[in-house]
């Protein structure tokens, strides 16, 4: 770390970023709006979330020379990077952001013009589109110094990150998690993963020229675990009837647990959010004004359609109270154990639903359905995410057989707004609402 | 006596059905939708009223369904065609467990429970394969009136193989079959087989239960009905007028709501 960039980063962090956030907020003073007929007043924490995200992307521009930057997959054990002081960015999160701003299609098209197939994941296409053209709605992303990927979420990330490694000429660290075909604990798979972790630490020491600080690592694990538990409690507030937030809110509030895990800022944020939600649940304030039925969501969000869908569901009194997606960051990270950091890290990251056999996912869904008193299931068959979408028709059939839970499948995409048929999706959803209302 | 109306504004045609309080059909009409959904709905409604010999004021409640359901200003309620086909088919054949509706723009398979309730459904709405549109394109290519397709396919001695499930690619397969002077009847039968395969795979997703009733315009094609029944290994029943089942179901909903 050279002195000047380090001082500049420090200055931007302590003075520049807060000033920029204040400046951005000025002039945005909206007049008091009349109460929304569908939704409760917005959560106060949402403003803090927006600040957190803006600040995270804003500060990333001042890292050059001050600290190394790593691009990380959503399922990689980022805790291992923290003691080395990497500034971490998540291309998947950036792609979701592009999707939500409806520029995903345009960025995918850049990748397609360079020969990448439209059948590839749109997160990958958007990121490659960004890498090839520098286009991004967040202004500018810093060039990465390191790539860190794990195949616990899909195999696409390996090839996607190999392309990035070649393009930027930087090292790529891969963490391979054998697929869990059974529930068996320990064994050669665990040894294999712990072995990789040791090798990754050595690799990182070589790249960074720094010794691995095991104490700092344990503290990070502790912090990540506590943050995950807080996220789990945030989600659990939706067990209340009416639910104080919906999954559409959770899709937005999940950013810190995905991208800022193992950092103080994420823990602080969830303490704030949890307090507000618990208070709302206590007062019986529902996120939507009239909660008639409670639903579960399966698969990644349809980012470009969040607002439209939130309105459509709310206008029918349908509240999403749980999702396999948002739950993924609360499901296994509590397994983290600062006393046995490497082993627990391997366990937590290899047990995620996408790396697990279908019966496991089914049991998880059955538990969520019971705990959150779910009336119906909406299954997003995502064009991009094959590992998440395969087996959904079996899940649909089995949940109907075992728990009499009706469901509907909608075909869309996570971030490419071009793969969406508005009228057809609306008809499917409305038919599903009609069937639910008749029960 | 009070009356109820159902209007089904589909992608190709618009139907209206008027029921008396005993749920007997007293008037019905079928028109092309054209480019203006609201006008099509009004015209179909007027035609059905004329058929019934009733003034518009006699109708207590109207329910709209189909893709144009949002464009029917005089409808008291809008209900999806999935619920309407289920209720309509169940009312015509009370032992119906599965409804197959092949319309102009999409096809659906609906599992029907007691009282015509929708238990589950699946739709093909992302491509033209397995829809009436597919037959439209093929009939034009072969210069056969749409309504003759069924009869011709039943007359075929053999069957051409159409392997693609995509309308555009299937059309090019038909072009090459025509180029080789393949008998037209056999090509038609091959086309029907292709659409039936698409629909049967949807039926398997939902699962067949009880008696199978087919609704929608394509049900008028006996060639498709015969192959569907062969592939499913069970009879497929078709109402006397399969095209108005959606509007009939909508009118039944109107009667329920208005009573």
Please state the separation of Cα B207 from the chain's center in Å: 20
Please count the residues of chain A. Answer: 439
- Report the alpha-carbon distance of residue A113 to residue A121 in Å, rounded: 15
Query: Of A31-40, A61-70, B246-255, which range is least confident?
Result: A31-40
- Report the alpha-carbon distance of residue B256 to residue B259 in Å, rounded: 6
Please count the residues of chain B. Answer: 259
Q: How many CB atoms lie within 10 A of CB B38?
A: 14
Beta strands in A73-155 (DSSP E): 87-89, 146-150
Strand-strand pairing, B13-20 and B25-32: antiparallel
CA dihedral B240, B245, B251, B253 (to 10 degrees): 130
pLDDT (0 to 100) of residue B125 = 67
Inform me whether the pLDDT recorded for A267 exceeds 70. yes
Angle, CA of B39, B44 and B46, to the nearest 5°: 95
Q: Render the burial of B53-87: b for 16+ CB within 10 Å, e for the rest.
A: ebeeebbbbbbbbbbbbebbeebbebbbbbbbbbb
For A389-403, what is the mean pLDDT? 94
Interface list for B 63-92 with A (CB within 8 A): 67, 79-83
Q: How many CB atoms lie within 10 A of CB A17?
A: 18
The verdict on B259 touching A (C-beta cutoff 8 Å) is no
Q: What is the CA radius of gyration of chain A?
A: 21
pLDDT tens sequence across A231-240: 999 999 999 9
Three-class SS state of A365? helix
- Option in B82, B126, B205 nearest A431 (CB): B82
Residue with token string 């309407």 = B84
- Report the alpha-carbon distance of residue A122 to residue B217 in Å, rounded: 38
Q: How many CB atoms lie within 10 A of CB A252?
A: 16
pLDDT (0 to 100) of residue A31 = 67
CA dihedral B236, B242, B248, B250 (to 10 degrees): 80
Chain A residue numbers touching B205 (CB-CB < 8 A):
393
Residue with token string 């038609």 = B188
Which one, of B217, B165, B7, lies nearest residue B173 by Cα? B165
- Report the alpha-carbon distance of residue B214 to residue B29 in Å, rounded: 20
**B204: closest chain A residue by CA:** A393
- Report the alpha-carbon distance of residue B46 to residue B31 in Å, rounded: 11
- Report the alpha-carbon distance of residue A221 to residue B168 in Å, rounded: 55
CA dihedral B133, B138, B143, B147 (to 10 degrees): -50
What is the C-alpha end-to-end distance of chain B, expressed in Å? 12
For A54-83, what is the mean pLDDT? 94
pLDDT (0 to 100) of residue A1 = 54
Interface list for B 192-211 with A (CB within 8 A): 205, 207
Under an 8 A CB cutoff, do A406 and B67 touch?
no
Residues in A lying within 8 Å of B, measured between beta carbons: 393, 397, 400, 406-409, 411, 421, 423-424, 427-428, 430-431, 434-435, 438
Under an 8 A CB cutoff, do B126 and A424 touch?
yes
pLDDT tens sequence across A82-103: 999 999 999 999 999 999 999 9
Q: What is the token pair recorded at A213? A: 């600080």
CA dihedral A436, A437, A439, B4 (to 10 degrees): -120
Q: What is the token pair recorded at A7? A: 């001082």
Inform me whether the pLDDT recorded for A334 exceeds 90. no
Give the CA count within 13 Å in the CB-facing half-sphere of B144: 18
Asked if B122 contacts B101 with a C-beta cutoff of 8 angstroms, the reply is: no
For A359-376, what is the mean pLDDT? 97
Residue with token string 């990754």 = A200
Could you tell me where the DSSP H helices lie in chain B? 37-52, 81-92, 132-142, 149-155, 167-179, 184-206, 222-232, 245-258
Task: Tell me which DSSP letter residue B172 carries.
Answer: H
Asked if A403 contacts A366 with a C-beta cutoff of 8 angstroms, the reply is: yes
pLDDT (0 to 100) of residue A30 = 65
Bond preceding residue A242 cis, omega within 30 of 0: yes
Number of CB pairs, chain A paired with chain B, less than 8 A apart = 42
Read off the pTM.
Answer: 0.91
- Option in A407, A428, A435 nearest B123 (CB): A428
Query: Of A114-128, A329-343, B157-171, which range is least confident?
Result: B157-171
pLDDT (0 to 100) of residue A21 = 79
**A438: closest chain B residue by CA:** B117
Q: CA of A67, closest CA in chain B: separation in Å?
A: 48
Please give the C-alpha separations between residue B87 and each of A210, A337, B259, in angstroms, as whole numbers: 71, 56, 17
Spatial strand order of the sheet with B25-32 comes to B25-32, B13-20, B3-9, B59-65, B77-78
Three-class SS state of A49? helix
Interface probe with A: pick from B101, B111, B115, B120, most Cβ of A within 10 Å? B120
Spatial strand order of the sheet with B211-215 comes to B118-124, B107-112, B96-102, B211-215, B236-237
Inform me whether the pLDDT recorded for A184 exceeds 90. no
Three-class SS state of A300? coil
pLDDT interval class at A183 (50, 70, 90): confident
pLDDT (0 to 100) of residue B257 = 79
pLDDT (0 to 100) of residue B127 = 73
pLDDT (0 to 100) of residue A13 = 85
Q: CA of B67, closest CA in chain A: separation in Å?
A: 8
pLDDT interval class at A139 (50, 70, 90): confident
Chain A residue numbers touching B79 (CB-CB < 8 A):
434
- Option in A393, A406, A421 nearest B125 (CB): A421
Inform me whether the pLDDT recorded for A7 exceeds 80. yes
- Report the alpha-carbon distance of residue A98 to residue A395 in Å, rounded: 30
- Report the alpha-carbon distance of residue B68 to residue B33 in Å, rounded: 9
Please tell me which residue, A165 or B195, carries the higher pLDDT value.
A165
Under an 8 A CB cutoff, do B80 and A431 touch?
yes
**B106: closest chain A residue by CA:** A424
Question: A96 — phi, psi (to 5°)?
Answer: -65, -40
Three-class SS state of A352? coil
pLDDT in tens, chain B (259 residues): 789 999 999 988 999 999 999 999 999 999 999 999 999 999 999 999 999 999 999 999 999 999 999 999 999 999 999 999 999 999 999 999 999 999 888 899 999 999 999 999 998 866 777 788 889 888 998 999 999 999 999 999 999 998 877 778 888 899 899 999 999 999 999 999 999 998 998 999 888 999 999 999 999 999 999 999 999 999 999 999 999 999 999 999 999 875 4
Inform me whether the pLDDT recorded for A33 exceeds 80. no
Q: What is the token pair recorded at B61? A: 């409640």
pLDDT (0 to 100) of residue B259 = 42
Under an 8 A CB cutoff, do A438 and B106 touch?
no
Task: Tell me which DSSP letter residue A102 carries.
Answer: T
């Amino acid at each position: 770390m050279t002195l000047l960039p380090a001082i500049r980063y420090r200055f931007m962090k302590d003075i520049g970023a807060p000033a920029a956030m204040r400046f951005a907020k000025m002039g945005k003073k909206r007049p008091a709006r009349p109460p929304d007929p569908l939704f409760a007043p917005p959560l106060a924490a949402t403003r803090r979330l927006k600040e957190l995200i803006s600040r995270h992307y804003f500060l990333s521009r001042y890292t050059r020379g001050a600290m190394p930057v790593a691009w990380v997959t959503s399922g990689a054990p980022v805790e291992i990077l923290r003691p080395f002081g990497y500034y971490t960015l998540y291309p998947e999160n950036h792609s979701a952001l592009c999707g939500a701003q409806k520029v995903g299609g345009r960025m995918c098209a850049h990748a397609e013009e360079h020969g990448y197939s439209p059948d590839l994941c749109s997160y990958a296409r958007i990121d490659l589109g960004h890498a090839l053209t520098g286009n991004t709605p967040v202004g500018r992303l810093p060039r990465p110094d390191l790539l860190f990927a794990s195949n616990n979420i899909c195999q696409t990330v390996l090839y996607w990150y190999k392309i990035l490694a070649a393009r930027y000429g930087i090292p790529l660290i891969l963490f391979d998690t054998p697929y869990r075909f059974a529930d068996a604990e320990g064994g050669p798979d665990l040894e294999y993963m712990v072995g990789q972790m040791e090798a990754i630490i050595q690799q990182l020491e070589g790249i960074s020229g720094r010794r691995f600080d095991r104490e700092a690592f344990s503290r990070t694990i502790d912090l990540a675990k506590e943050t995950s538990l807080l996220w789990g409690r945030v989600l659990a507030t939706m067990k209340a009837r009416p639910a104080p937030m919906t999954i559409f809110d959770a899709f937005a509030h999940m950013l810190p647990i995905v991208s800022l895990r193992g950092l103080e800022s994420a823990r602080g944020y969830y303490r704030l959010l949890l307090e507000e939600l618990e208070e709302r649940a206590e007062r019986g304030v529902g996120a939507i004004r009239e909660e008639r039925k409670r639903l579960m969501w399966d698969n990644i969000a349809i980012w470009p359609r969040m607002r439209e869908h939130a309105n459509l569901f709310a206008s029918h009194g349908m509240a999403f109270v749980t999702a396999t997606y948002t739950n993924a960051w609360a499901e296994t990270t509590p397994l983290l154990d600062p006393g046995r950091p490497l082993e627990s890290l391997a366990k937590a990251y290899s047990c995620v639903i996408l790396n697990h056999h279908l019966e496991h996912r089914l049991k998880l869904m059955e538990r969520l359905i019971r705990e959150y008193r779910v009336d119906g299931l909406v299954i997003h068959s995502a064009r991009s995410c094959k590992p998440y979408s395969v087996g959904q028709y079996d899940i649909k059939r089995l949940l109907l057989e075992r728990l009499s839970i009706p469901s509907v499948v909608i075909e869309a995409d996570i971030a490419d707004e071009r793969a969406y048929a508005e009228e057809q999706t609306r008809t499917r959803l409305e038919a599903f609402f009609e069937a639910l209302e008749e029960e | 006596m009070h009356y109820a109306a159902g209007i089904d504004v589909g992608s190709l045609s618009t139907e209206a059905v008027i029921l008396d309080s005993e749920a007997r059909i007293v008037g019905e009409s079928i028109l092309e939708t054209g480019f203006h959904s609201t006008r099509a709905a009004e015209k179909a409604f007027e035609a059905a009223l004329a058929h019934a010999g009733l003034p518009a004021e006699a109708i207590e409640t109207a329910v709209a369904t189909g893709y144009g359901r949002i464009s029917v200003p005089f409808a008291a309620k809008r209900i999806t065609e999935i619920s309407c086909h289920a209720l309509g088919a169940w009312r015509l054949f009370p032992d119906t467990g599965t409804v197959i509706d092949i319309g102009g723009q999409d096809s659906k398979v609906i599992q029907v429970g007691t009282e015509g309730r929708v238990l589950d459904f699946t739709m093909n709405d992302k491509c033209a394969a397995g829809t009436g549109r597919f037959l439209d394109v093929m009939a034009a290519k072969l210069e056969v009136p749409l309504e003759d397709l069924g009869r011709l396919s039943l007359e075929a001695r053999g069957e051409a193989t159409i392997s693609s499930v995509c309308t555009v690619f299937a059309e090019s397969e038909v072009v090459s079959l025509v180029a080789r002077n393949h008998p037209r009847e056999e090509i038609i039968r091959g086309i029907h087989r292709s659409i039936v395969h698409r629909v049967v795979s949807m039926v398997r997703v939902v699962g067949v239960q009880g008696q199978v009733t087919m609704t929608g315009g394509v049900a008028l094609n006996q060639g498709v009905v015969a192959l569907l029944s062969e592939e499913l290994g069970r009879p497929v029943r078709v109402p006397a007028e399969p095209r108005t089942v959606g509007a009939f179901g909508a009118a039944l909903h109107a009667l329920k709501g208005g009573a």
